[in-house]
């Protein structure tokens, strides 16, 4: 149920608010000392994500410290690959590793009920966070978008140039369609359960939308995203969906027009005034302070926070970064950013 006092939710329903509501991608996690303390309680990162008590606490930490308008569920976009039976490991200092898949059937070895059972601690986390959050805080559930998750599944790791995944798509287009369809269908189940457990908003992270020509963008990014939104709506899941096609460049306009998402996340490189003119009037946007600008702090941070806030005045806008909070970001800079954003204007 929509609660009138959730400012972030109001923006997603089309209201332009001053100051804009704010949360930060990766607001939970390694820039917070209290996270490091909590993290030490689980052997590996997957165990941490699948522990409702630890994941609930991690979700709440940035809310307590900063009073963000949105809390993002503490989990990871790669949990779905783990639940589908692909071996996922988070290697300290190296990032995630996934056993590479070579055909769509590699994603079909686990029964639907077993996938849901594996992910069930995440839904328990959503219920616990929901119960613990202040009523004015919006709870954001999320998943990776199929193309981004497929890249990890095919390449086996992050930090690559994505050429293995792209060649897979060009050489075996039907097989790639099948990979994306399987991921999209499971993502619908996953997000629907998060919504039923109490998520107010759902976000799709398309972290690797960059560098695609328009035909591939249409087939691998737009079509699977549209399928997810359509299936959610067909099931009566009406929570707003924020789509974040990071690196899409000018194709963000097509993404906004064709996927059915309720709002678009803008990455750091999207020019604010261009976005304001190119996107449909009234479409909510989220973004897009450079994470390194936050890390650097100083007068340049203050000026850019005001610029972004002012550029989207009159349009429903959720203030955020253009990507995640870097690990070495000083807490004081986040506090200062919030202060400047919320100053009387
Ligand atoms: O505050 C939040 O945003 C909550 C939770 C969250 C995490 N990952 C926690 C996490 C969210 C929303 C994600 C999404 C995610 N995960 C994305 C999409 C967003 C983006 O950054 O583009 C991606 C691509 C991943 C995959 C992933 N998970 C990578 C590449 C890494 C390694 C990064 C690193 O620096 O090691 C992770 C691990 C991860 N996910 C951590 C956290 C807090 C760090 C692990 C740790 O604490 O040991």
Q: DSSP letter string over 182-193?
A: HHHHHHHHHHHH
Decide if 30 is catalytic.
yes
Classify 7-287 by CATH class.
alpha beta
Spatial distance between the Cα atoms of 201 and 71, rounded to a whole number of angstroms: 10
90 pocket-lining for ligand 1 (C-beta < 6 Å)? yes
Q: What is the DSSP letter of 300?
A: H
Tokens of 332: 């004081």
Contact 243, 221 (CB under 8 A): no
> Would the pTM of this model clear 0.95, i.e. be above it?
yes
**In 3D, which of 43, 75, 37, 36 has the Cα closest to residue 59?**
75
pLDDT at position 158: 85
CA 93 to ligand 1: nearest atom: 36
Spatial distance between the Cα atoms of 341 and 345, rounded to a whole number of angstroms: 9
Residue boundaries of the structural domains of the chain: 7-287
Spatial distance between the Cα atoms of 115 and 309, rounded to a whole number of angstroms: 41
pLDDT at position 160: 85
142 pocket-lining for ligand 1 (C-beta < 6 Å)? yes
Spatial distance between the Cα atoms of 171 and 230, rounded to a whole number of angstroms: 28
Catalytic residue among 30, 97, 157, 254: 30
Spatial distance between the Cα atoms of 247 and 151, rounded to a whole number of angstroms: 15
**In 3D, which of 26, 141, 148, 27 has the Cα closest to residue 81?**
148
Q: What is the mean pLDDT of each run of 10 residues along the chain (345 residues)?
A: 79 97 97 97 96 98 98 98 97 91 97 97 98 98 98 92 96 98 98 98 98 98 98 98 98 98 98 97 97 98 98 97 98 98 89
Catalytic residue among 66, 152, 190, 255: 152
pLDDT at position 222: 98
96 pocket-lining for ligand 1 (C-beta < 6 Å)? yes
């Amino acid at each position: 149920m929509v609660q009138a006092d959730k400012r972030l939710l109001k923006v997603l329903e089309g209201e332009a608010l001053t100051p804009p509501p704010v949360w930060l991608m990766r607001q939970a996690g390694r820039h917070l000392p209290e996270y490091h303390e909590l993290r030490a309680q689980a052997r590996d990162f997957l165990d941490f994500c699948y522990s409702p008590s630890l994941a609930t606490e991690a979700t709440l930490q940035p809310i307590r410290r900063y009073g963000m308008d949105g809390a993002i569920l503490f989990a990871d976009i790669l949990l779905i690959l783990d639940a589908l039976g692909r071996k996922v490991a988070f290697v300290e200092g190296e990032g995630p590793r996934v056993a590479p898949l070579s055909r769509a059937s590699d994603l079909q070895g686990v029964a639907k009920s077993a996938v849901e059972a594996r992910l069930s601690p995440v839904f328990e986390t959503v219920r616990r966070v929901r119960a613990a959050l202040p009523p004015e805080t919006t709870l954001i559930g999320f998943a990776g978008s199929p193309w981004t998750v497929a890249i990890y599944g095919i390449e086996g790791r992050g930090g690559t140039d994505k050429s293995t995944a792209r060649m897979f798509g060009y050489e075996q287009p039907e097989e790639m369609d099948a990979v994306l369809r399987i991921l999209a269908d499971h993502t619908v189940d996953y997000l629907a359960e998060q919504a039923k457990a109490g998520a107010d908003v759902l976000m799709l992270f398309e972290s690797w939308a960059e560098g695609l020509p328009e035909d591939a963008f249409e087939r691998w990014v737009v079509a699977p995203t549209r399928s997810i939104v359509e299936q959610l709506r067909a099931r009566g899941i009406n929570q707003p969906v924020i789509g974040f096609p990071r690196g899409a460049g000018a194709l963000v306009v097509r993404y906004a027009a064709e996927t059915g998402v309720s709002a678009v996340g803008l990455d750091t490189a999207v020019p604010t005034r261009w976005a304001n003119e190119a996107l449909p009037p009234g479409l909510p946007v989220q973004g897009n302070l450079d994470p390194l600008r936050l890390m650097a702090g100083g007068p340049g941070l203050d000026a850019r926070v005001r610029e972004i806030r002012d550029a989207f005045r009159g349009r429903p806008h959720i203030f955020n970064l253009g990507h995640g909070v870097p690990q070495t970001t000083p807490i004081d800079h986040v506090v200062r950013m919030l202060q400047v954003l919320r100053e009387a204007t």
